[in-house]
Amino acid sequence: RYYIASYTGHTRDLDFSWETYGEKVNKELVGTLGNFVYRTILFAQRNYGKVPDGTIDEEITKHIKESTQTIRLSLD
Going from N- to C-terminal start, the domains of the chain cover 2-75
Secondary structure letter of residue 26 according to DSSP: I
pLDDT of residue 65: 96
pLDDT at 14 over 90: no
pLDDT band at residue 25, thresholds of 50, 70 and 90? confident
Sequence-distant (6+) residues with CB within 8 A of 28 are: 2, 6
Quick check: 3 and 21 in contact, CB under 8 A? yes
Of 49, 54, 3, 7, which Cα lies nearest the Cα of 29?
3
Quick check: 32 and 6 in contact, CB under 8 A? no
**Percentage of the chain surpassing pLDDT 70?**
91
Whether this model's pTM surpasses 0.75: no
Q: How far are the Cα atoms of 2, 14, 65, 67 from residue 71, in angstroms, in the given order?
A: 16, 23, 10, 6
pLDDT at 10 over 70: no
